[in-house]
Amino acid sequence: MKKNKSFFIRLITGAGKKYSALILAVSLSLYGAPSLALETSAAGAVVTDCATGYVIYEKNADETFVPASMTKIMTLYVFFSEMDGRGLTLDSPVTVSENAARVAAEKGLSNVPLIQGESYTVDSLISAVCTASACGAAVALAEAISGGEAEFVALMNEYAAKMGLTAYFTDSYGISEYNYITPRSMAALSRKAVLDYPMILNYSSAAKIVWEGKIYWSTNQLLPGMPYAYAGTDGLKTGFTNQSGYCLTSTAVKDGRRIISAVFGTESRPQSFTESEKLLDFGFENCGERIREFYDISCGIDAPEQVYFDEDFTVCAELGGVVTPTVQKGEWLVNDIPIAGYQYDSLNIENGEKIYFHYNTGGYDGGSIKVTLRLYTPSDSVSFDRTIRVLTEYKPTAPEEAAENGQI
C-alpha cells in the first residue's frame, strides 16, 4: 500500500528573528513492504528492488551470517573500484604469487589451476572468480591491487565501513568462518556492485568458461540453460562452507525491472536455488510499477524572510515519514551551484536524520540566494529550495555583544 508522509526543512539563522512559514503542498511517497505472507526455509533472506533499494521481503535481515564465497562480491567491487588507479585494464597481465598458487591448489576449494610465476589477464581471472568461484584467482586479483592479500582485506573492510555495511572480512575468497555480513548488507552491496559496475554482469551471466582446455560450469544454476534456470537471471554469486550452509545472492531482470535476492543458511545446494526462485518470484509479483518513482517528494519550509550581508547561517533538513530507510546520494546547492564539501555519496534517508548546511552570505551584496537540498535516486532526483533575501548591511551588533567588545 502506498503511504504518503511529509517532512520539513527548517532554516535556522539566529534567535530573535522573524520567520515566515512557507508551506508547500508536498508529500513523501514511499511504499511499505507487502503484507502478503511468504515462508522460506533459508535462515536469513532479503529481496530488494535494485532501482530504488526498497526491501520487498526480509527474514532475519540484520543478523550476521558467514557469507562463504559470496565474499567475492566485495572482492570484485573493490577490484573494479581500484583497478584504474593502479593502472590495470582487463588486458593487464597478473603474475601468480606463491600464495595465490597455494590457494588455487588447496583441496576442497573451488578453483581453476594457477601456476606460480605464470601470468593471466585480469579478464580471465575475473571470469574464473565469477563463473567457477575460483579462490586462487580471487587472491591473485587482490594481490594485483594491494601487493598482498592482507592489505587488500583491510581495503575491503574500509569499503564496507564507507558503505555503512554490517560486515567484516578476514580473507578475499570466503573460506574463513570469521567473515560475516547481514542479508540486508549483502543485498545492499550487490545492488551497489550492479549499479556502479554493471560489467560484472557480463561475467556472472556466463554459464561456463573454458580454462586451459577444460570446461568449468557456473556454480549458479539459476542461469539460462542450467538445471534450475530462472528467466532473466544474470548473476550473481553462490557460497558454501560447513559454517555458512548453502548461500546464494541472485539477480534477475523482467520487463526492465531488476530484483536482487540474498539467501543464507539453506540446507542443500538445490534448496538454495529453489528458495531463491521463490524469493525472486515474490519480488517481481509484489514490487509494484510505481515503486520506480520511489520519491514523490515536496516539503514544508520554515525560513527567515531575510539574512544580513556576511552572516553565517545554518540549514537543517530533518527527515520524517520514511517507511523504508535507504541510502542515496545528495548535495547542497546555492543558486544551483553545488557547494564543495556538501556532496554525499551515502546519505541516510531515515526518520529523524538531520542534514546540516552551513553557509555565509559574504559573497552576496544584496539581492537573494536560493538554497537547495537535492536528493538522488538511481534514475531521478528531487530538490527542495527556498529563496532568501540578502540585505546590504551587516548584522547589527547586539548591546550585550557590544559591551563585551568594549564598544559601549
Looking at the annotation, which residues are catalytic? 69, 72, 133
Could you tell me how many helices (H) and strands (E) the chain has, helices first?
A: 9, 23
Burial of residue 274 (CB within 10 Å: 0-12, 13-18, 19+) is middle
Pairing of the two strands 368-376 and 381-394: antiparallel
Q: 10 Å Cβ neighbour count for 35?
A: 7
Task: Please tell me the distance from the alpha carbon of residue 21 to that of residue 281, in angstroms, as a whole number.
Answer: 47
Residues 299, 22: contact at Cβ < 8 Å?
no
Query: Whose CA is closest to 220, among 261, 174, 186?
Result: 261
H or E segment and range at residue 151: helix 149-163
Residues 6+ apart with CB under 8 A from 332: 315, 338, 339, 342, 357, 371, 372, 373, 374
Residue 307 forms beta bridges with which residues? 390
**Alpha-carbon torsion 354, 358, 364, 365, what sign?**
positive
Give ∠ CA 236-154-79 in degrees, rounded to 5: 40
Q: Would you state the cell numbers that stand for residue 397, as one nine-digit string?
A: 551588533
